[in-house]
Amino acid sequence: MRVTHVCRAFSRLSETFIYQLINGLESRGIHNSVLTSRRLHADARPFVRVQTLPEPTVQRLLFAFRKQVLQRYDYRLPQAGLESALETLRPDAIVAHFGGSGLAVHRVATRLQIPLLVTFHAFDMFRSCFPSGIYRDMWPAVSAAVAISDFGRRHLVEVHGAPPERLHVVHCGVDTSRFSFAERNGGRGGPIRMLTLGRLVEKKGTIDLVKAVAAVRHLGHDVRLTICGTGPQRSRIEQAV
């Protein structure tokens, strides 16, 4: 089986899950390729079958203007180059990461009669630049869509009009063998030191972590939490602490 992945940038460090998905499919004998506007971190993530279809400067500036000023996400891959690349690659399926990439590729997928799967995570459903109705013309071209949570699935159906019979929930997987149990250093009796590293945004749940640590400390356990990161929730997290 041959699968082509379409995304605006490959591979952002924060999008480990896409890189792991591709390598996981490769390990199962599926041939993968990537079409993108920008190739990032090639040294750290050296997947080789990546083809770049650069956005012209004017188009890139218009994209930023529409997103920031008009509050509309309008990612446009060069349609002629996209169609030519897909005709050469001849994939059995296209996987668009995320909703914005689905908008960019669905017309070409329909013309070439290639099944299209679109994955949705968060910003492509909840941000104001993805208003209700933005995916209306895309849904007929989508063979299947994936949300990473039941909440996201409900939102796609109720707000964005996704066809429920073609919408599935696939939770982001974690290779637990990479995080095997290890005895805590320092012996017993000392404080339990915890570290969290990430962007200080609501969906990371840092305030929930602070409350959980407070609850454990209230039970008499000496737990110390160090928070590393920055972001718009910093002052709220400081207040919670």
Q: How confident is the model at residue 172 (pLDDT cuts 50, 70, 90)?
A: confident
Q: Which residue has the higher pLDDT, 152 or 67?
A: 152
Q: Are 101 and 75 in contact (CB under 8 A)?
A: yes
Query: What confidence score (pLDDT) does residue 205 get?
Result: 93
Strand partners, 31: 2
pTM over 0.85? The answer is: no
**Nearest one of 137, 76, 66, 123 to 101, comparing CA atoms:** 76
Q: How confident is the model at residue 188 (pLDDT cuts 50, 70, 90)?
A: low
- Stretch 51-77: mean pLDDT: 85
Give me 115's structure tokens: 């099944």
Percent of the chain with pLDDT over 90: 73
Q: Is the pLDDT of residue 53 over 80?
A: yes
Query: What own/partner pairs with CB < 8 Å and gap ≥ 24 does 161-167 have?
Result: 161/132, 161/133, 161/135, 161/136, 162/135, 163/139, 166/142
| Pairing, β 93-97 against β 223-228 | unpaired
- In this predicted structure, which of 1-10, 53-62, 200-209 has the lowest mean pLDDT? 53-62
Query: What confidence score (pLDDT) does residue 186 get?
Result: 59
CB atoms closer than 10 angstroms to residue 116: 22
- In this predicted structure, which of 6-20, 56-70, 94-108, 216-230 has the lowest mean pLDDT? 56-70
Q: Which residue has the higher pLDDT, 174 or 41?
A: 41
Query: Which sign, positive or negative, has the C-alpha torsion 217, 199, 173, 126?
Result: positive
Q: Tell me the average pLDDT of the chain.
A: 92
Q: How confident is the model at residue 187 (pLDDT cuts 50, 70, 90)?
A: low
